[in-house]
Chain A
Amino acid sequence: MILVAAVVVGLIAGLIRATITKRSYQPHSLNLIWVVFVALFAQWIVFGFLFTRTIIPDLYASLVLVLSQVLLLIFAWKNRQVPGFWLLGIGLLLNLAVILLNGGWMPISPGTVRWLVPDAAPDAWQIGERLAYGKDKVLLVENTRLWFLSDRLHTPEWLFYRVAFSVGDVVIALGAIWLLWSIGGSGEPKLKKEKIE
């Protein structure tokens, strides 16, 4: 949800910028958008849809996670000329790197899991196992490759909403905000548009 929040923040900031600079808010044309839909549909089948995610073996689930992120990386590369997309690609690459080096799952430490779900039953999760039906795998810090890129960051204690995220997620969030902000300053001036009409 922090990434969706970043999109909302970026969109609001971009619209305000467009209003102040009196420009139209015209998004860039993107290439290969079908790739995003394919990647997300695959992830939804494996991680989201109740009737399929419970029967798909972990091996296939991790394979789908990696392949779908490779597809998204191709999408980011194809659109690298759009402002902010290189940052989106770097964030994705950071996440993909730590996932690939840890058996196809995003590592999360036992301490972070305990912080996330302090009231979870003792047998709800185990070290070395996948966390519920998500993208994470519980690993000890000393057994995690590139642990600094794992889901080791979390929302502040005072916030009611508990969620863990990675450095890659932060970079992706910044890329999304940058992209949406840049659109606010790239459209045609509204006065010029009115004259043409």
Chain B
Amino acid sequence: MNKIINTYSALVGKAVKAKAKLILFVLVLVLFVLGSGAPEAGGGVINSLPIFRF
């Protein structure tokens, strides 16, 4: 994780390092909970789109 943050910080400056770390942390957590759970039966983001409705 630190490697990604450091690479990103080198590109955009250290001032945004803390924010970048927080955004990546939250992104990873969101992806983790979406992958761990099975909450999308009928009412999730994907199924709520008309094209995907069954």
Q: Which residues of A come within 8 Å of B, CB atoms?
A: 1-4, 6-7, 11, 24-31, 33, 36-37, 39-40, 43, 47-48, 50, 68-69, 72, 75-76, 88, 91-92, 95, 99, 106, 108, 112-113, 116-117, 120, 124-125, 131-136, 151, 155, 161-166, 168-169, 172-173, 176, 179-180
Q: Is the CB of B1 within 8 A of A33?
A: yes
How many chain B residues touch the partner (CB < 8 A)?
A: 32
Could you say which of B22, B29, B39 contacts A169, with CB atoms under 8 Å apart? B39
Majority DSSP secondary structure for residues of A touching B: helix
Cβ < 8 Å to A, chain B residues 1-54: 1-2, 4, 18, 21-22, 24-26, 28-47, 51-52, 54
List the A side residues contacting B24 at CB < 8 Å: 33
**Pairwise interchain contact A30-B1, C-beta atoms closer than 8 A:** yes
Contact at B43–A162, with CB atoms within 8 Å?
yes
Q: Give the distance in Å from the alpha carbon of A190 to the alpha carbon of B3 in the complex.
A: 26
**What's the least CB distance linking A166 to chain B, in Å?**
6
Q: CB distance B39 to A29 under 8 Å?
A: no
Residues of B near A7 (CB, < 8 A) are 26, 29-30, 33
Residues of B within 8 A of A68 (CB): 35
**B22 lies within 8 A of A25 (CB):** yes
CB within 8 Å for A1 and B39 given contacts A7-B33, A27-B21? yes
